[in-house]
């Protein structure tokens, strides 16, 4: 297990290093001087130089990369070119919307997908199964930002159950905030729930045809008991992997959904930064999200090995 963890840890480190180099170089090849951008066309050469020094733009490529990565490791993400505030602070505020949104959507997706997938698998070929498969086929194909817009028309504009967008802030009360995240979370969860339900169903069908399930049935368990006690547990392994992977889709997918509902999360931040050419913010937010995704994938792989001992010994 130690050996497995160490090799996974090594590949985690390599992923992060490669990602940071790619993101850094991508931003680096852009033309334009952020200092000149901040001070305007009439700036004196010495003020420009002073600001470049302050922003750490005068060093060599390698020095700048090292200071960027070093800064991030110590929680310093640099200073926004347009707002002149620390990027770490800006990200911190936005994260309190994007992260709960992703977790909310993940919870919804799991809560919908598990019963649907299990139900469809246990009544294979029935009307229930056909319905679940049909609905999930639609759920996979629907663009989630369009689904979000339709929900706004129905639930916000016509029924007035929810507000059409915006976020009151956690200070205004937990339930009010949760309520304003509900439509975005449903929109995010729908495609993921559809995929997950299909994975759940096919994983269950695979395990149901295994010998140990037949043994359990021969022992006298009903189909339902065999499913619950034996098949479900084994089917969970691929399902858990998918859940972990979906977290990254939810974080990234939130970027678009936040725009539909005017939620001031990381997605809005990234688009504001792009249109203002505030590249240090773009750079840091992308790196942070990539970091989150890589860490989650790592955690999933470790959890996977804990559940399934065979994996630890496979190279």
- Could you list the residues that contact another protein (CB under 8 A)? 11, 14-15, 18-19, 23, 26-27, 29-30, 133, 137-138, 140-143, 145-146, 149-150, 152-153, 157, 202, 205-206, 209, 248-249, 251-253, 255-256, 259-260, 270-271, 274, 282, 286, 289-290, 293-294, 297
Q: How far is the CB of 12 from another protein (least distance, A)?
A: 10
What is the longest distance spanned by two Cα atoms in the chain? Answer: 87
| Crossing angle of the two packed helices 266-275 and 279-307, in degrees rounded to 10 | 150
Based on CB atoms, which residue is closest to another protein, 205 or 311?
205
Q: Which residues, including other chains, have CB under 8 Å from residue 99's CB and lie 6 or more apart?
A: none
Distance CA 257, CA 143 (A): 11
User: How many Cα neighbours within 13 Å face the side chain of 9?
Assistant: 6
Based on CB atoms, which residue is closest to another protein, 146 or 161?
146
Distance CA 97, CA 118 (A): 32
Neighbours of 57 (CB within 10 A): 14
Distance CA 155, CA 143 (A): 18
Based on CB atoms, which residue is closest to another protein, 178 or 214?
214
Based on CB atoms, which residue is closest to another protein, 213 or 293?
293
Q: How far is the CB of 71 from another protein (least distance, A)?
A: 19
Q: How far is the CB of 202 from another protein (least distance, A)?
A: 6
Q: How far is the CB of 171 from another protein (least distance, A)?
A: 28
Based on CB atoms, which residue is closest to another protein, 67 or 248?
248
Q: How far is the CB of 247 from another protein (least distance, A)?
A: 10
Give the single-character DSSP code of 86.
Answer: B
Q: Which residues, including other chains, have CB under 8 Å from residue 260's CB and lie 6 or more apart?
A: 145, 148, 149, 152, 165, 184, 187
Q: Do 168 and 176 touch, CB atoms closer than 8 A?
A: yes
Based on CB atoms, which residue is closest to another protein, 124 or 313?
124
Q: How far is the CB of 58 from another protein (least distance, A)?
A: 22
CA distances from 38 to 60, 143, 204 (A): 21, 38, 58
Based on CB atoms, which residue is closest to another protein, 243 or 282?
282
Q: How far is the CB of 205 from another protein (least distance, A)?
A: 7
Q: Which residues, including other chains, have CB under 8 Å from residue 206's CB and lie 6 or more apart?
A: 235
Q: How far is the CB of 248 from another protein (least distance, A)?
A: 5
Tokens 């395990």 belong to which residue? 207
- Residue 181 CA, chain-centre distance (Å), reads 15
Based on CB atoms, which residue is closest to another protein, 57 or 300?
300
Helix, strand or coil for residue 125?
A: coil
């Amino acid at each position: 297990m130690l050996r497995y963890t160490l090799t996974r840890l090594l590949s985690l480190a390599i992923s992060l290093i490669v990602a940071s180099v790619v993101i850094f170089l991508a931003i680096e090849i852009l033309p334009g001087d952020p200092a000149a951008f901040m001070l305007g066309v009439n700036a004196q050469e010495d003020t420009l130089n002073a600001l470049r020094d302050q922003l750490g733009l005068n060093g060599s490529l390698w020095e700048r990369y090292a200071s960027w990565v070093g800064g991030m490791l110590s929680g310093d993400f640099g200073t926004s070119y347009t707002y002149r505030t620390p990027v770490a602070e800006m990200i911190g505020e936005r994260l309190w919307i994007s992260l709960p949104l992703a977790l909310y959507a993940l919870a919804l997706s799991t809560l919908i997908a598990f019963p649907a997938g299990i139900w469809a698998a246990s009544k294979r070929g029935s009307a229930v199964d056909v319905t679940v498969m049909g609905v999930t086929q639609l759920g996979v194909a629907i663009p989630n930002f369009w689904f979000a817009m339709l929900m706004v028309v129905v639930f916000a504009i016509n029924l007035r159950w929810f507000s059409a967008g915006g976020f009151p802030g956690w200070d205004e009360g937990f339930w009010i905030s949760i309520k304003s995240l509900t439509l975005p979370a449903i929109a995010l969860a729908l495609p993921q729930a559809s995929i997950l339900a299909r994975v759940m169903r096919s994983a269950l069908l695979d395990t149901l045809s295994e010998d140990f399930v037949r043994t359990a049935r021969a022992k006298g368990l009903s189909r339902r008991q065999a499913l619950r006690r034996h098949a479900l547990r084994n089917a969970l392994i691929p399902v858990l992997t998918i859940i972990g992977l979906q977290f990254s889709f939810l974080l990234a997918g939130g970027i678009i959904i936040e725009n539909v509902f005017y939620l001031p999360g990381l997605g809005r931040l990234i688009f504001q930064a792009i249109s203002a050419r505030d590249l240090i913010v773009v750079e840091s937010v992308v790196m942070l999200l990539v970091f989150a995704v890589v860490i989650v994938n790592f955690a999933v792989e470790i959890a996977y090995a804990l559940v399934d001992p065979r994996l630890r010994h496979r190279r």
